[in-house]
Structure 1
Amino acid sequence: MPMRCLVVDDEPLARERLRALLDEADEDVEVVAEAEGGKEAVSLIHDREPSVVFLDVQMPVLGGFDVVDLLPEPGQRPHIVFVTAYDEYAIQAFEARALDYLTKPVRLERLNKTLGRVQDALANDDAREQENLDDLRDSRQDQALKRLTVHVGHRLRVVPLEEVRWIEADEGFVFAHTEGGRYRTDFTLEELESRLPPTRFVRVHRSTIVNLDAAYELVPEPAGTATLRLQDGTEVKVARRRTDDVRSAIGG
């Protein structure tokens, strides 16, 4: 599978040059999008789910480090490679936990080394995710939830799992959606993923779990993503890397 890249730079010629170098690179690379500013970059990172972002440091309004501040922690975001004409930001890039730091003009030989590092990091990500999935499967047998407790004003309400249509993480809280409304829980999304019945509840996105009994249809989208439409008309985004698993779960 090609390495999915997002190129972010406010200078069109800089984006064009980097894209041309990526076309010549040794690794199998796909530039899924370009952005000319930080705000657009944040939106594209969410929508296109690149594997790596080549991010200019100095841009108007929202610079490269500002973009990183708006993203989740490493492990929940794409790998970041800063690209700049100056070398004085190297320490700051290291503190931002970037994978690499390229100075302009970027040379193909140096870019190939960076892409090799990205490929190694992606392989480690896949191995770590599989290990986490194995741990989740093992823990579910002993910790399975039979009901969900949610907050309704100052009260706690017990909700049967069959009434929960989908669950989302939003602004630091986790909410369960039922026919009666949207209710806050005290669980993290990771805890719920590990303790809900895996044949019924499926993680479809970094911020969403869906009850497959509430699903109506899976609609493919460009770039390998999809939309899961629920029976009540709700549309939930399915991450590109989870689309095949969701399709299998629905079919199964």
Structure 2
Amino acid sequence: MKVLIIDDEQKARDVLQLLIAQLCKSIKEVITADCLADGVDLIKRHKPQIVFLDIEMPVHSGLEIVDFFKGEKMDFHIIFTTAYNKYAIDAFKISAIDYLLKPIADNELIAAVNKAESLIKQDNYSAKLEQLKKAFNQLALNKIALEVPKGISFVSVDDIIFFEADGAYTKVYLKNGKQELITKNLKHFTEQLKDNNLFYKPHRSYFINLKFMDRFVKEDGHYIILSNGFSVPIARDKREAFQKLVEMIF
């Protein structure tokens, strides 16, 4: 783990660096700066996970650090170090994870670093989850998740011929000839695929992929024959509109 110490006093930087070396074995690299402006430059170049930040410094107070990151993400954890406890409330207003009074006690330094490490792990976990979420969102553009009895099957929507309602369940008929019984009702899939123009609901019990429509039959109540040989009825109130659409397009 990499940390940065920002303090205008050389002795204070040296003492803290020595304490870190003795007490915090997880910290492998320590860099230092004697003013806030130089410290911000080091933060942006070296990306430390923790910044030990003095508050009372010439030119810029440590509390002004947020002014240097307007519109930018502060992806590091701040531990304020100061000889005065009057700044504690202001420090925590800018989300400092701890506030150490000088001279810094060993146990308080260890506790502050442990707290920071815990938060860093949480941040890393959240970042990994976010990356995974993005990957799944990309996957969802082309695939659909089918909750089968022993897990989840990810199927390309282009491989689904049709859905058939079966009470509280749904049968899914696939291009490879397989059928899956899913523990979701038909409405779940019609909602999920409502923006996919290739899927059409000709009847309250069926939701079909028009890509697999082989024939439209206008006798015996009107029905559609799909590429797997199944016949799907067209509801009475949809027959005329469907027929006109077919004639208009084909």
Segments of 5+ residues of structure 2 without an aligned counterpart are 143-250
2:17·2:30 contact (CA, 8 Å) conserved in 1? Answer: no
Q: Distance in 1 between matches of 2:117 and 2:56?
A: 26
CA distance in 2: counterparts of 1:60 and 1:112, whole angstroms: 28
Deviation, 1:75, is 6.4
Give 1:107 shift.
1.4
Instruction: Please tell me whether the aligned partners of residues 41 and 67 of structure 1 are also in contact (alpha carbons under 8 angstroms).
Output: no
Matches within 5 A, 1:65-104: 65-71=63-69, 76-104=74-102
Aligned counterparts of 2:23 and 2:69: Cα–Cα separation in 1: 27
Helix, strand or coil: the match of 1:105?
coil
User: Could you tell me how far 1:108 is from its partner in structure 2?
Assistant: 1.2
Q: Would the alpha carbon gap of residues 113 and 75 (structure 1) be closer, same or farther in structure 2, given more than 3 Å must change?
A: farther
Q: Percent identity?
A: 31
Aligned to 1:162: none
1:203-218 equivalences under 5 Å are none
TM-score w.r.t. the length of structure 2 is 0.53
Gaps of 5+ in 1: 145-252
**3-state SS of the aligned residue for 1:88?**
helix
- Say which SS state the counterpart of residue 89 (structure 1) adopts: helix
Deviation at 1:142, TM superposition (A): 5.0
**Does 1:128 pair with 2:126?**
yes
Residue 102 of structure 1, CA deviation: 0.4
Secondary structure of 1:29's match? coil
When residues 74 and 128 of structure 1 are mapped into structure 2, their CA distance, relative to the original with a 3 A threshold, is farther
Q: Larger Rg: 1 or 2? A: 2
**Corresponding residue of 1:192:** none
Distance 1:89 1:74 in 2: 24
One-letter amino acid matched to 2:88: A
Tell me what 2:40 maps to. 42
Q: 1:177-216 maps to which residues of 2 (within 5 A)?
A: none
Aligned length: 142
Greater RCO, CA 8 A, separation 6+: 1
What TM-score does the superposition give when structure 1 sets the normalisation length?
0.53
Given candidates 91, 99, 114, the residue that maps to 2:112 is 114
> How big is the shift at 1:32?
3.5
Question: What displacement does 1:143 show?
Answer: 6.0
C-alpha deviation, 1:74, in angstroms: 9.5
Aligned to 2:224: none
Paired residue secondary structure (2:59): coil
Q: How does 1:227-238 map to 2 (within 5 A)?
A: none
Aligned to 2:56: 58
Which residue of 136, 139, 145 corresponds with 2:137?
139
For 1:35 and 1:80, the matched residues in 2 are separated by 15
